[in-house]
Amino acid sequence: MIFLVVAVVILAAAALLEIGNMKRLHPILRFMRHALSTPWHVRRHFSPQALRRIEAAIANSERLHAGEMRFVVEAGLHPMDIIWKKTPRRRALELFGQLNIWDTEHNNGVLIYLLLADRDVEIVADRGIHRLVRDDGWESICHHMEQQFRQGAFEEGVVSGIAEIGALLSQHFPTQNEQRNELSNRPVVL
């Protein structure tokens, strides 16, 4: 019981200490937030039905362009990752490689990564689309998504991010005669 009270106090303090867009927390507070993040936190924000709707949104978007999208949501990082100060960006880059998003025919794969414990969303784009959109375009989409997340609209935030990314991919990589789905549209829950 005492552990639970201490954990609640620490998480409340952590929420008060968030600074700017980077949401930098004291290392101990960040460690506690990640240690207490569980798959339940993902299910709380993303029901199986919501994940199916996100999968459908990706599939519908990919009908309009030749790009590929993946969505990954993770409750929290492994304790050793926190000790070694792994950032959400670095984790997103790891997943970009592990999920082979970099290996699309036109180098136009895009990863949307949401780390719930850090309340951070990262977009990693392959070089084919990144050279056309640049960092400020991706940061703008992340900002719009985070605004919706702050209001508790997690599914809506992801779907709107998919729509914005889809619009950019449609502009730069319009649909080809042959529609190929190189990557799974199914969201990844970690």
Residue 7 confidence class, pLDDT cut points 50, 70, 90: low
Residue 53 has a CB neighbour count (10 Å cut-off) of: 17
What residues does each domain of the chain span? 1-36, 39-189
The torsion angle over the Cα atoms of residues 118, 138, 129 and 56, rounded to 10 degrees, is 70
Structure tokens at 77: 């990082």
For residue 24, the model assigns a pLDDT of 64
Helices (H), the chain: 2-16, 27-35, 39-45, 48-62, 79-83, 88-98, 127-150, 154-172
What order do you get walking across the sheet with 68-74 strand by strand? 120-125, 109-115, 68-74, 188-189
Do the beta carbons of residue 72 and residue 187 sit within 8 Å?
yes
pLDDT at 14 over 60: no
pLDDT given for residue 85 in this prediction: 87
> Could you report the per-residue pLDDT of 146-165, keeping only the tens digit for each?
999 999 999 999 999 999 99
Three-state secondary-structure class, residue 188: strand
pLDDT tens-digit series, residues 43-83: 999 999 999 999 999 999 999 999 999 999 999 999 888 88
Residue 85, helix vs strand vs coil? coil
Nearest CA-CA partner of 73 in 119, 123, 114, 125:
114
Q: Which pLDDT band holds residue 190 (cuts at 50, 70, 90)?
A: very high
Report residue 18's pLDDT band, with 50, 70 and 90 as the boundaries. Answer: very low
- 39-189 adopts what CATH topology? Diaminopimelate Epimerase; Chain A, domain 1 (3.10.310)
Cα–Cα distances (Å) from 131 to 69, 93, 119, in that order, read 17, 17, 27
SS3 label, residue 96: helix
Q: What's the whole-number average pLDDT of the chain? A: 87
pLDDT at 21 over 90: no
